[in-house]
Structure 1
Amino acid sequence: MTALFADLLGQDPAVTLLAAALRRQRLAPAYLFTGPEGVGRRLAALRFLEGVIAGPEGEPAVRRRLEAGNHPDVLWVEPTYLDKGQLVPASQALERGVNRRSPPQLRLEQIREVSRFLARRPVEAPGCLVVLEQVEAMAEAPANALLKTLEEPGGGMLLLISASPEQLLSTIHSRCQRVRFGRLPAESLARVLASAPPPAVADTEELLALAAGSPGALLAHRQQWQSLPEGLVDRLLSLPMAADPFEALALARDLTEALDAEQQLWLLTWWQLALWRTLRQPAVLQRLERLRSHLLSYVQPRLAWEVALLELAGLGG
């Protein structure tokens, strides 16, 4: 492993491929980084861009600028929410109080910006460089626009990052060199987590199962877990199959008042796993999947939770 990629753990095949491309200066016009969330794809993209700009050994000054997001020849694009006529990056949505009921998307305006950026003259790099995160989060129009950009990237380079490459057009696949990232083995996972702040409480079996070998995912799940109001999880877990209807309704009220849409969906996923580990009743999981579909649509969240909790308590129709 080269010094440039020294902090990218557990991804030797990807590192070997990227380091060889930098060393031989045989760079593709587009790459597709695939693999689970939180296993190092974003870090690999940063280090690879550093190598493209500064050479195979990298350069600390370039690294600092890339990590700060202020290099003039790099455009980093992530899915956005549409809020009051403005596109808000997913990473800023919570801070800006954006409604996160529907998932963020890469939009046509963003892909057009990518095309304009690639047409610029670079300042320091060999060409302009673009990273697209969650590239599968596109509707048909931006996907077709991206395909045209991939067909004529000029002297620039695109790095596409995707956890669900099967959702991409096959023609997008064919125009990219694919770099695969896998889940980390136990040793590498432990090394990554050792550098992170320790959890406030021990990780539950459900959190570890949800992470499935991804340190980034485990850190994100810890954050979600720690943000839950005290007592809410206990009330969910203690909701029996013959619960008091007033408790079911109160729980739906408190849950929707305390949690935004994204937190509700995360809690639902956790609850499904916890119930399966204890009850193993497929009908319960199927009802929760219906609840998920309602939360992702335009059903009023509190009503969706009320009906689901009442039905799970054996009180609904």
Structure 2
Amino acid sequence: MTALFEDLLGQTRAVALLEASLVKGRLAPAYLFAGPDGVGRRLAALRFLEGVLAGLQGDAGIRRRLQEGNHPDLLWVEPTYQDKGQLVPASKAEELGLARRAAPQLRLEQIRDVSRFLSRRAVEARGCVVVLEDAEAMAEGAANALLKTLEEPGEGLLILIAAKPEQLLTTIRSRCQQIPFTRLSSEQLAVVLERCGEPAPTADPPELLELAAGSPGGLLRCRQAWAALPEGLAARLLDLAAAAEPLQALALARDLAEALDAEQQLWLLGWWQLALWRRQAPAAQLQRLERLRSQLRAYVQPRLAWEVALLELAGI
């Protein structure tokens, strides 16, 4: 491994493929960085682009500009929410206090911007470069527009980052060189957390470690989600017993829908499923929670979806 990728831990195969492209000077028009969230895909994209722009020896100035997002030949695109006619990047939604009632998307207008950016003349590099985060979050129209761009890539370079590449169009995947990323071992997880100045995972609840599944970024998000839960809400879910009072189940559904946004509800549902599985809950209960997950993702009214599910699970 060259010094360029020395801070990317546990991704030997991905680094080997990226280094081979740089050494041979044979870059694919598009790459698909596929693997779990939070295991270094974003860092790998930054280091790879640094290698594209400055060579394997790297360049501190270019590294800083890429990380700050102010390189003139780089366009970094992430899913957005729509708010009052404006597109709000997912990373800014919480900071702006945006109500996140639906999942963010990569939208048609964003992909059109990508196509225009890739077709323009680069300022400093040989060609413009674009990174699409959470590429599986593309709406259908956006995916079709991206496919047209991939069919005529020009001199630009496109990197797609996806945790669930199977959700992308097969024709999109076939036009990208896939770079696989894997989960980290517990030892590697601890090292990455230490480098980030974060506490070691030894004190985390076991469910959080299992949900993170070898992803440092995933564990940090789990910690944040766990800390943000209203006091006692998770315990009320676990204490929901068969033959519970209907008002108890309905009150819990109300509090879940009112206190948590869409992403928080889905995260808590995943935690609840895991907690019930660890308690050896009946398969029918776990299947009912999976149906609830599908309903929440399909934008069914959250409170109604929770009410029906909790009443059924309580045997009412």
Scaled by the length of structure 1, what TM-score is found?
Answer: 0.94
Letter in structure 2 aligned against 1:56: L
2:150 is aligned to 150
- Deviation at residue 199 of structure 1 after TM alignment: 7.0
2:39 is aligned to 39
Letter in structure 1 aligned against 2:82: L
Gap change, CA 1:290 and 1:193, over 3 Å in 2: same
The 1-side partners of 2:80 and 2:307 are apart by: 30
* More moved, 32-41 vs 186-195: 186-195
- 8 Å Cα contact 2:28/2:177 also seen in 1: yes
For the pair 1:247 / 2:248, whether they are aligned, the reply is: yes
Scaled by the length of structure 2, what TM-score is found?
Answer: 0.94
- 8 Å Cα contact 1:101/1:296 also seen in 2: no
The 2-side partners of 1:146 and 1:313 are apart by: 46
- Deviation at residue 212 of structure 1 after TM alignment: 1.2
* More moved, 91-100 vs 76-85: 91-100
SS at match of 1:130: strand
1:99 is aligned to 99
SS at match of 1:39: coil
For the pair 1:237 / 2:259, whether they are aligned, the reply is: no
The 1-side partners of 2:169 and 2:4 are apart by: 32
Number of aligned residue pairs: give it. Answer: 315
- 8 Å Cα contact 2:122/2:128 also seen in 1: yes
Q: Could you list the runs of 5+ residues in structure 2 that have no partner in the other structure?
A: none
1:260 is aligned to 261
Per-residue CA distance 1:213-238 (angstroms, 9 max, x = gap):
11111111111111111111122112
For the pair 1:207 / 2:177, whether they are aligned, the reply is: no
Q: Please identify runs of 4+ aligned residues in structure 1 that moved more than 4 A.
A: none
Q: How does 1:101-120 map to 2 (within 5 A)?
A: 101-120=101-120
Percent of residue pairs bearing the same amino acid type: 72
Per-residue CA distance 1:94-146 (angstroms, 9 max, x = gap):
22233323222111111110111012221111210000111122233222211
The 2-side partners of 1:116 and 1:207 are apart by: 42
The 2-side partners of 1:71 and 1:26 are apart by: 22
Per-residue CA distance 1:171-211 (angstroms, 9 max, x = gap):
22222211111111232222112223227992111111111
1:3 is aligned to 3
For the pair 1:122 / 2:119, whether they are aligned, the reply is: no
SS at match of 1:97: coil
Per-residue CA distance 1:288-313 (angstroms, 9 max, x = gap):
22322332334332232222222222
The 2-side partners of 1:36 and 1:171 are apart by: 22
Letter in structure 2 aligned against 1:248: A
Per-residue CA distance 1:137-175 (angstroms, 9 max, x = gap):
223322221111112222111111111222222222222
